[in-house]
């Protein structure tokens, strides 16, 4: 799926608070077979079958929604992580892709638990559609948790790091 289309769907969700989720079903070879929208507070039934690819886009923190991806032969689902302590700020994934903690295999990670980061500092890379996207911290503070493993797939809005801005 084209990242521009995903970004536009997310923008639609941000601009229309009455929407709860947008579900896109893709057929073979990436063709779109249907798009379904639900109102806030109404969940989408993610149980379609038949080998279609299935993507649900929902705003981060939306009540009663989950991000899910379903592919031929298997199902993968990610739900909202437990609430972090209110004093920690989450650095979230701005896109779907693969998380890399270091600039190249074998190199030291950009940041580790206990490291101090500043706003604008690169903290990781997310590979999306064979493009390496450097992710910068939006907050200054101390890394208290790395929420994902190296080379792990991540979803849009998924927490990557938890930072103590007072540390």
CA distance 63 to 35: 21
Does residue 44 sit in the same domain as residue 20?
Answer: yes
Does residue 69 sit in the same domain as residue 42?
Answer: yes
pLDDT score of 11? 76
User: What are the tens digits of pLDDT across the range 45-91?
Assistant: 544 444 334 444 444 444 433 333 333 333 333 334 444 446 899 99
How many domains in the chain?
A: 2
Range(s) of the domain holding residue 105:
89-164
């Amino acid at each position: 799926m084209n990242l521009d289309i995903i970004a536009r769907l997310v923008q639609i969700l941000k601009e229309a608070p009455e929407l709860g989720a947008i579900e896109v079903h893709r057929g073979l070879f990436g063709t779109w077979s249907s798009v379904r929208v639900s109102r806030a507070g109404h969940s989408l039934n993610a149980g379609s079958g038949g080998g279609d690819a299935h993507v649900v886009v929902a705003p981060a923190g939306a009540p009663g929604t989950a991000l899910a991806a379903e592919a031929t032969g298997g199902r993968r689902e990610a739900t909202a992580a437990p609430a972090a302590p209110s004093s920690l700020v989450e650095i979230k994934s701005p896109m779907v892709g693969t998380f890399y903690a270091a600039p190249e295999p074998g190199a030291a990670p950009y940041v580790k638990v206990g490291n101090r980061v500043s706003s604008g500092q690169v903290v990781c890379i997310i590979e999306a559609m064979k493009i390496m996207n450097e992710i910068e911290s939006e907050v200054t503070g101390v890394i208290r948790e790395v929420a994902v493993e190296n080379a792990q797939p991540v979803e849009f809005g998924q927490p990557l790091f938890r930072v103590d801005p007072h540390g």
